[in-house]
Chains A and B, each alone.
Chain A
């Protein structure tokens, strides 16, 4: 990807290009280093990684236990770890507990398993409201929970990052781990959604 100078259409885009030009001119940052990091977070690091962790936990009770005990180490077993995933805690949804993650102070998010956060996660609206009216926010995502379910909101205020382990959907007993992973959405691992039903994934 390169900057298309015929179509820079606002001051910020021009300023970002100017900073890149300056750093390249000074020999401090190379064009391909920027490309490499962009490519990494666009293609290799994303919610597909977290989906593999969740699917493994659904089919392997011993792995699920290791995730509960030490999220960082269990996630590293599948090859994931790095910036913004230094210390990982996996929080498990049950029929009684529904977990949601947020960072009210900035935009802390578990990059190695979910990639970079979507706009809504970084928005002032989400950061302000999900701690103060979580069910109203979930309703905007189309998620209604029974009154008896305890909603737990995890505010990522220190160098700990969270991953929600959603409940395995009903009717998936015959599916292989790889098929299960296709049901695991990003939002289901943040807590603003639940996994797809197998019909929807077919």
Chain B
């Protein structure tokens, strides 16, 4: 969304809240547990990007998470189409949400959130610190981690962060590549501004870059 216009102010009433309502926190937790327990297919982030733009922008934040969680469960075959709708009807008819207690699962899921998978160590890199690079212009269908606003812009390699799989294939199943920190000048990205110049720093996978 970088550089888009028309969204209005950032600081608005209620903007400090992490969650407005209990269902949002529970949706976050369900989404997280679906991943930990391996009962969904695909990642929430790329699936949320499959929402149509008007649906994406109209939906609240955790509404998107709810949608992607349901999709992941459907794609794995863990739930069947219509099963959530059936439960909506049952709840509206007054039936309570069933409860089930499983302390082992609670402990397992809680502990799993402290697991980490850091970037790999970069040994061979195409670009070196200080190199001038340009972000490739390309039309890509589907998930990417190369923002539209930075394509075609020239910047400088300032760090090698490590290695990761190219997100665009799979997604997150592409070849293992170096990830660079690249700095850009605001004027090169957005043109003249009333504000004093600033700099933008992005982490970009090698495929996104070409020598400038």
- Interface residues in chain A, defined as those with a beta carbon under 8 Å from any beta carbon in chain B: 1-5, 8, 12-38, 40-42, 45, 72, 81-83, 85-87, 89, 104-107, 112, 115-120, 122-137, 140-141, 147-148, 150-160
A134 to B73, CA, bound (A): 39
For chain B, residues 110 to 159, give those with C-beta under 8 angstroms from any C-beta of chain A.
110, 113-119, 145-147, 149
Please tell me if B192 contacts chain A, counting CB pairs below 8 Å: no
B63 contact from A12, A20, A119, Cβ within 8 A? A12
Residue of A25, A38, A127 with most chain B CB atoms under a 10 A cut-off: A38
Are the C-beta atoms of A16 and B116 separated by less than 8 Å? no
Are the C-beta atoms of A33 and B25 separated by less than 8 Å? no
A134 to B195, CA, bound (A): 8
A83 vs chain B, min Cβ distance (A): 5
Are the C-beta atoms of A29 and B193 separated by less than 8 Å? no
A30 contact from B17, B101, B115, Cβ within 8 A? B101
**Contact mask for chain B residues 64-103; partner A; CB cutoff 8 A; 1 contact, 0 none:** 0010011001000011000111011011101011111111
B43 vs chain A, min Cβ distance (A): 11
Are the C-beta atoms of A123 and B2 separated by less than 8 Å? no
- Interface residues in chain B, defined as those with a beta carbon under 8 Å from any beta carbon in chain A: 1-5, 7-12, 14-30, 32-34, 37, 39, 45, 48, 57, 60-63, 66, 69-70, 73, 78-79, 83-85, 87-88, 90-92, 94, 96-103, 105-110, 113-119, 145-147, 149, 161-162, 164, 167, 179, 181, 183, 189-190, 193, 195-196, 198-205
Contacts of B62 in A (CB 8 A): 12, 16
Are the C-beta atoms of A128 and B5 separated by less than 8 Å? yes
Are the C-beta atoms of A155 and B201 separated by less than 8 Å? yes
B83 vs chain A, min Cβ distance (A): 6
A103 to B153, CA, bound (A): 18
Are the C-beta atoms of A120 and B16 separated by less than 8 Å? yes
Contacts of B69 in A (CB 8 A): 19
Are the C-beta atoms of B84 and A157 separated by less than 8 Å? no
A123 contact from B7, B181, B200, Cβ within 8 A? B7
Contacts of A19 in B (CB 8 A): 27, 30, 66, 69-70, 73, 84, 87
A125 to B106, CA, bound (A): 36
By Cβ-Cβ distance, the 8 closest A-B pairs, closest first, are A30-B102, A158-B203, A104-B2, A18-B87, A37-B29, A120-B15, A125-B7, A151-B198
- Knowing A24-B98, A28-B78, the reply to whether A157 touches B145 (Cβ < 8 A) is yes
A86 to B98, CA, bound (A): 35
- Knowing A120-B15, A159-B164, the reply to whether A150 touches B199 (Cβ < 8 A) is yes
- Knowing A33-B109, A157-B204, the reply to whether A22 touches B16 (Cβ < 8 A) is no
B53 vs chain A, min Cβ distance (A): 11
A118 to B97, CA, bound (A): 28
Are the C-beta atoms of B179 and A160 separated by less than 8 Å? yes
Contacts of B16 in A (CB 8 A): 118-120
New contact pairs (16) apart from A23-B73, A157-B203, CB-CB < 8 Å: A12-B60, A16-B26, A16-B66, A19-B69, A28-B78, A29-B34, A32-B101, A38-B25, A41-B25, A82-B114, A128-B2, A132-B190, A134-B198, A153-B199, A154-B201, A156-B203
A32 contact from B25, B61, B103, B164, Cβ within 8 A? B103
Contacts of A141 in B (CB 8 A): 10-11
Are the C-beta atoms of B105 and A133 separated by less than 8 Å? no
- Knowing A8-B91, A33-B109, the reply to whether A120 touches B22 (Cβ < 8 A) is no
Considering the complex, give the chain A residue whose CB is closest to the CB of B15.
Answer: A120
